[in-house]
Structure 1
Amino acid sequence: MALKETRRPSIFWLMAWVCFGLLGGSVKFRVAHPERIPERGAFVIAPNHYSEIDPVIVGMMLYRLGRIPRFLTKASLFKIPVVGWFLRRSGQVPVERAGSAAAKGPSPLAAAREIARAERIVVVYPEGTLTRDPDMWPMRGKNGAARIALEQGIPVIPVAHWGTQALMGRYAKKINLLRRHPIDFAIGKPVDLSEFEGKPIDQHLLADATEKIMGAITAELEKLRGDKAPAHRWDPSLHGQSETGRIEP
């Protein structure tokens, strides 16, 4: 699949060239149902998250399929010389996530809405951070993906992947480039959120819609892993864990 979005010269070409140049020889993509990625229009990609390098790998996969992904990115990264320039020029969106700076900067939801209105795709990690589940199954989700989809009337496509932990382990600081790592993707059908449409968007509705999205991601991951996820989704608050930041492996 080669779409007009990736044919137009852009700074994203250079970023893709760098990523594929550095990692192309160390990863082998195997994508189930690539045809489920729409060729045009706005939608939310909702992947699982268990390695720091996940956004790069997901971005590379989407680029190979002809779509340029936009990520909601920590505002602090935009202050890094060169890195910040590339992020801005490639259309990534800076967001403040916590503290007093958050009141001054754009919120993740507002930034994602702008991407949706521009008929682009936005990658939203429903878990909000690397999963705390000891076996790296998707944990409890947050409602950002569901809210964007319902407010903007755009689809949510669940995406599961497995294999990036061999390339870069959870909370690892180094990338393993010594061998080629197969990374499997399963792209699901758009999550059916019709039961929530036309209703007041409150916390209860968002929680139900989010759980449906997380269930769809988990179902795709079960196919990749050939195993069943735990009956109850991991909840950091029930295990004395913080919502953000690093934890012990």
Structure 2
Amino acid sequence: MSELVYPPVIRAVLAAFKLLDLRIRIEGAERVPRSGGAVLVSNHVSYLDFVFAGLAARPSRRFVRFMAKQEVFAHRVSGPLMRGMHHIPVDRSAGAGAFRAAVRALRSGEIVGNFAEATISRSFTVKDIKSGPIRMAVEAGVPIIPVAVWGGQRLWTKGRPRKLLQRHVPITILVGEPLNPGSDDDIAKLTAELRRRMSDLLDEAQRTYPEIPPGVWWQPARLGGTAPTPEEAAALDAASRKPRSEPLP
């Protein structure tokens, strides 16, 4: 597969992060396999999560093919980049095609990235997750790698002003132990186990995050922040839900 777009995009992104002096901490990157297919499943707190989650695979010299909503591919700027990096479009009204494309990529040895919560979590906790990543991994016979990203919400998240030029923001990326599902395993139990692992990783990322002022909006309510509780966040999501998927921010 030709990689004319992905490497220069990564170099540009890393250069921007260096200029902003983002303090990126990655732990557990050795758990990303250096070859073969895998499903990388991350929590979702910001519009930049695909960048940070993708960095988890960089020490293993792997590119992650993220599944993203079709609207991103239709955008005049992001569309050519997404296609050039061989990401996988998802039409939420007809998801079977994206599922098949992801399984093909996994069987060909690619790492496929997925945000199993489907949308950004306003509460900054792990929402209920979809079973799709589990079913992909089972069908393709590959492991699932749970990832937690934290800090990106301070730069750009749902319902808050963008602060993409904010400097010195710590970013935490934690990679958990792979989950190796078998064809006879219960999908519901595997989904619950994956969510538990993601939640544990996110909890660790939040509790070890440096320089947390009291009562900040980007910290979950259970840790003393002023982010919506999961129940409040669900109500906000319901109020803003539209018949079609949310527009490109």
Range of TM-score over shorter length: 0.7 to 0.9
Q: Which moved more, 1:42-51 or 1:73-82?
A: 73-82
Match of 1:126 in 2: 116
The residue type paired with residue 198 of structure 1 is D
Quote the residue 1:213 is aligned against.
194
> Quick one: structure 1 residues 150 and 164, their matched pair in 2 at CA, closer, same or farther if it must change by over 3 Å?
same
1:113 aligns with 2:87: no
RMSD over equivalenced CA pairs, Å: 3.0
2:132 to 135, 144, 166: 144
Mapped partners of 2:10, 2:75: distance in 1: 19
Runs of 4+ in 1 over 4 A off after TM superposition: 227-230, 233-241, 243-246
Higher mean alpha-carbon deviation, 236-245 vs 215-224, is at 236-245
Of the structure 1 ranges 71-80 and 28-37, higher mean CA displacement relative to structure 2 is found in 71-80
Deviation at 1:192, TM superposition (A): 4.7
TM-score (norm 1): 0.77
Change (3 A) 1:53 1:40: same
Contact 1:41–1:120 under 8 Å retained in 2: yes
* Identical counterparts, % of pairs: 25
> C-alpha distance in 1, partners of 2:234/2:66?
29
Displacement of 1:61 in angstroms is 3.9
Instruction: Answer with 167-176 or 84-93: which moved more.
Output: 167-176
Tell whether 2:64 aligns with 1:78: no
The superposition leaves residues 160-203 of structure 1 with CA deviations (integer Å, 9 ceiling, x where unpaired) of: 12111222243335233231211112111112535xx325xxxx
Return the offset for 1:63: 3.1
SS at match of 1:22: helix
Gapped runs of 5+ residues in structure 2? 209-219, 223-228
What does 1:1-249 correspond to in 2, within 5 Å? Answer: 10-26=4-20, 27-98=22-93, 102=94, 107-132=97-122, 134=123, 136-194=124-182, 197-198=183-184, 205-226=186-207, 234=230, 239=235, 241-242=237-238
**Equivalent residues of 2:41, 2:113 under 8 A apart:** yes
| CA-to-aligned-CA distance 1:46-70 (integer Å, 9 cap, x gap) | 1111111111222244335421010
Aligned length: 224
Residue identity matched to 2:76: P
Q: Which amino acid aligns with 1:112?
A: A
Measured after TM superposition, the shift of residue 25 of structure 1 is: 2.6
Normalising by structure 2, what TM-score?
A: 0.77
CA contact (8 A) 1:191 1:216 kept: no
Q: Unpaired segments of 5 or more residues in structure 1? A: 200-204
**Cα distance between partner residues in 2 of 1:158 and 1:216:** 7
